């Protein structure tokens, strides 16, 4: 009789051990997961202190989409002939795909070369300033030209603990770090929301910044708005590291628990 009671208790203990080893790894605290936890109410002062968007500056190796419209469509078509340039783009898959982008490459001297107009130095200018400069130069060749100019390869890369890491080519210049993370499918449960790294190339020099997505102060950061070729990196948290290191141990524990239950069950039936 004592042996049967002992075996039943042992079976219950093994079942509890099995359930505990299976359930506990999946339990993740809500702490440090929600964004902007310190926001209570939005007041006027907070809105005034938020970072204002400033237009990105054109740099060497940028590709610009430039279209000049004139009273004579045929002459405008000559100017608008642009070479195709291969850039990195992405979106749907984790593999970064090469895309053909039609536009004018800014050379290492900061110039773009336009048919009939010649070389125009645009590096160091915003797209608005470059558009006005090209319009002035085009006015010497064409009557009342209208110029449209934008980045053709405004690319940001999102890496690390996100659902879809990739390089994303965007159609506009006004892009925030939240926009980039949204394109990447948001952070995984293992991403460190309090320590997102931004890597920026500023005139050949690397700049680094850390953003805390749990804090509303992110809206005050000069890195809240991204620039072309910025890299957003989300580090794994300690839970991800621990989960990776203990994956084999947990698997062995579950298997051992299952085997223990089977052995005890077989023994108790005898």
Q: What is the pLDDT of residue 76?
A: 57
DSSP track, 23-87: HGGG---STTTSSSTT-S---HHHHHHSPPP-PPPP-TT-EEEEEEE-SSHHHHHHHT---EEEE
- Is the pLDDT at 264 greater than 70? The verdict is no
Q: What is the pLDDT of residue 24?
A: 46
Which of 228, 227, 224, 190 is closest to 210 using CA atoms? 224
- Cβ neighbors of 156 (< 8 A, separation 6 or more) are 167, 168, 170, 175, 180, 226, 228, 229, 230, 231, 232
In this structure, the strands spanning 84-89 and 97-102 are antiparallel
Tell me the per-residue pLDDT of 1-39, one tens digit each, with 9 for 90 and over.
554 544 455 555 555 455 454 444 444 555 566 777 766
Tell me the per-residue pLDDT of 146-175, one tens digit each, with 9 for 90 and over.
999 999 888 999 999 999 999 998 888 899
Average pLDDT of the chain is 77
Superfamily (CATH) of domain 44-53+154-237: Outer membrane lipoprotein wza domain like (3.10.560.10)
Domain 63-151 falls in which CATH fold? wza like fold (3.30.1950)
Q: What is the pLDDT of residue 158?
A: 97
For the beta carbon of residue 189, count every other beta carbon within 10 angstroms: 10
State mean pLDDT over 185-204. Answer: 91
Q: What ranges do the domains of the chain cover?
A: 2-29+247-269, 44-53+154-237, 63-151
- Is the pLDDT at 50 greater than 80? The verdict is no
Share of the chain above pLDDT 90, in %: 35
Q: What is the pLDDT of residue 142?
A: 84
- Same CATH fold assignment for domains 44-53+154-237 and 63-151: no
- Is the pLDDT at 133 greater than 80? The verdict is yes
Report CA torsion sign: 65, 69, 73, 76: negative
Q: Minimum mean pLDDT among 123-137, 185-199, 255-269: which range?
A: 255-269
């Amino acid at each position: 009789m004592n042996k049967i009671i002992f075996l039943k208790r042992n079976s219950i203990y093994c079942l509890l051990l099995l359930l505990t080893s299976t359930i506990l790894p999946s339990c993740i605290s809500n702490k440090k997961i929600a964004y902007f936890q310190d926001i209570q109410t939005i007041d006027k002062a907070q809105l005034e202190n938020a970072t204002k968007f400033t237009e990105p500056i054109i740099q060497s190796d940028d590709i610009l989409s430039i279209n000049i419209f004139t009273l004579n469509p045929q002459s405008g078509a000559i100017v608008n002939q642009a070479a195709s340039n291969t850039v990195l783009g992405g979106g749907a898959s984790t593999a970064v795909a090469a895309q053909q982008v039609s536009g004018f490459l800014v050379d290492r001297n900061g110039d773009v070369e336009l048919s009939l107009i010649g070389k125009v130095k645009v590096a160091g200018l915003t797209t608005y300033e470059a558009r006005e400069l090209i319009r002035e130069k085009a006015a010497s060749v064409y009557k009342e030209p209208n110029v449209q100019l934008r980045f053709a390869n405004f690319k940001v890369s999102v890496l690390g603990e996100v659902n879809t890491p990739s390089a994303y080519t965007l159609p506009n210049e006004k892009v925030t770090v939240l926009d980039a993370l949204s394109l990447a499918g948001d952070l995984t449960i293992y991403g460190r929301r309090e320590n997102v790294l931004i890597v920026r190339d500023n005139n050949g020099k690397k700049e680094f910044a850390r953003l805390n997505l749990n804090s509303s102060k992110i809206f005050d950061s000069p890195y809240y708005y991204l620039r072309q070729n910025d890299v957003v990196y989300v580090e794994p948290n300690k839970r991800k590291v621990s989960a990776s290191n203990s994956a084999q141990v947990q698997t062995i524990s579950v298997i051992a628990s299952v085997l223990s239950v089977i052995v005890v069950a077989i023994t108790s039936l005898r």
